[in-house]
Copies of this chain bind each other. A is one copy, B any other.
Amino acid sequence: MSMARPAGEREIIARIRRAAGNSDDLVVGIGDDCAVYRTYPGRVSLITTDTMVEGVHFDLAWHPPLELGRKAAAVNISDIAAMGGLPRFALLSLAVSPATGSQWLDAFMAGFQAVLAEHDVVLIGGDTVQSGHESVFSITLIGEMAEGELVTRKGAQAGDVVLVSGFLGEAAAGLALCRLGQGQDIAWQSLVAAHLDPVPQVALGRVLAASGMVNAMQDLSDGLATDLAHICAESGVGAVVAAEKIPLSPALCRAAETCDHSALDWALSGGEDYHLLFTAGEQQVVPLCNLVREKTGRELFVVGYIVADGGVFLEEAGRRREISYRGYEHFR
């Protein structure tokens, strides 16, 4: 339930949320990366659904069908990873434009299936219909995990440290480079790959969830400013992000010069990085980083801290300004 989304969608989501109900078996309803329901005592299923619309979420001019199929699977698996779950089953619903040929569909399916296989996810259902103009893909992912390990957006506490699992802004820079016609340039390979073929952080999500040290978590789909605002809203807290701590890759900084765009802006509001964003108590940061390094060989990046008062603020050169929800919505 998280993808880059245009302005006004939060209002519609609020509408859906008001219509939502409750149930004894429902552990997490609308407002997190997945809905979560209990299948038997101590065990939960996670479920998420996303829709990708041609011309809104992907551009066939530069997105090859294989990579698009991979991305369609990856961004949904990422929602399961965002709560620490193990992805299990997928369903794919295709509304295919009249212009879509069978070679294109075969390549899309090959990419979709390859990412499922990388994560031992089984395609168990789906439907296909004809669309009038643009192609629309809806993917549903089902995961499972121990209820006790579940990490939601709700648990952030004042004093927590805010961490991310990798360089930010890469996908947004890759998109900008594709738009400039530089998507094939070898110099931008890592950035373009981040846009075309993002990697869901399943193994890391499971290590973080099982550690018991993470208080709140989600994946970075709309950009740090918006996604951290989601965690703050759900947890009833605020956050301060330090501009100089945000991990920016050398390639991103070079691309920022080429595109005459702020690297920091991409990192804060570009979206679609699909890294994990999470909070942990200050005392847990060192053991958590050690655990993650040992289990996955990965480094974590501290980017800020949680405060009691609401809103997400950026500290830069001694000044502080609010950046809540300045994500993909804002910059369209």
Contact residues, A112-168 vs B (CB, 8 A): 112-113, 116-117, 122-134, 136, 138, 140, 142
**B12/A56 in contact, CB under 8 A:** no
Determine which of B48, B109, B136, B138 lies in contact with A49 in the assembled complex, contact meaning CB atoms within 8 Å.
B138
In whole angstroms, how far apart are the Cα atoms of A235 and B2 in the complex?
Answer: 40
Determine which of B29, B102, B128, B134 lies in contact with A9 in the assembled complex, contact meaning CB atoms within 8 Å.
B128
Q: Count the copies.
A: 2
Query: Which residues from B are CB-within-8-Å of A93?
Result: 49-51, 138
- Report the nearest B residue to A39, measured CB to CB: B39
Query: Which residues from B are CB-within-8-Å of A96?
Result: 12
Shortest distance between the CB of A105 and any CB in chain B (Å):
6
**B15/A109 in contact, CB under 8 A:** yes
In whole angstroms, how far apart are the Cα atoms of A2 and B56 in the complex?
Answer: 27
Contact residues, A79-116 vs B (CB, 8 A): 88-89, 91-96, 102, 105-106, 109-110, 112-113, 116
Shortest distance between the CB of A1 and any CB in chain B (Å):
5
**B109/A53 in contact, CB under 8 A:** no
- Report the nearest B residue to A100, measured CB to CB: B12
- Report the nearest B residue to A7, measured CB to CB: B130
- Report the nearest B residue to A30, measured CB to CB: B125
Q: Which of A20-28, A169-177, A184-192, A278-286 contacts B (4 or more CB under 8 A)?
A: A20-28
Query: Which residues from B are CB-within-8-Å of A56?
Result: 95, 129-132
Query: Which residues from B are CB-within-8-Å of A92?
Result: 16
Query: Which residues from B are CB-within-8-Å of A52?
Result: 129
Known interface pairs A30-B125, A47-B142; A53-B95 also in contact (CB < 8 Å): yes
Shortest distance between the CB of A204 and any CB in chain B (Å):
23
Confirm or deny: A34 has a beta carbon within 8 angstroms of a beta carbon on chain B.
yes
Query: Which residues from B are CB-within-8-Å of A134?
Result: 131-133
**A16/B53 in contact, CB under 8 A:** no
In whole angstroms, how far apart are the Cα atoms of A49 and B50 in the complex?
Answer: 12
**A124/B39 in contact, CB under 8 A:** no
Confirm or deny: A66 has a beta carbon within 8 angstroms of a beta carbon on chain B.
no
**A53/B127 in contact, CB under 8 A:** no
Query: Which residues from B are CB-within-8-Å of A37?
Result: 88-89, 124, 142
**B89/A127 in contact, CB under 8 A:** no
In whole angstroms, how far apart are the Cα atoms of A12 and B45 in the complex?
Answer: 29
Query: Which residues from B are CB-within-8-Å of A113?
Result: 19, 21
Determine which of B48, B110, B130, B133 lies in contact with A125 in the assembled complex, contact meaning CB atoms within 8 Å.
B48
Known interface pairs A5-B129, A56-B131, A123-B20; A35-B138 also in contact (CB < 8 Å): no
Query: Which residues from B are CB-within-8-Å of A5?
Result: 127-130
**A94/B125 in contact, CB under 8 A:** no
Interface residues in chain A, defined as those with a beta carbon under 8 Å from any beta carbon in chain B: 1-3, 5-6, 8-9, 11-13, 15-16, 19-23, 25-26, 29-30, 34-35, 37, 39-40, 43, 45, 47-57, 88-89, 91-96, 102, 105-106, 109-110, 112-113, 116-117, 122-134, 136, 138, 140, 142
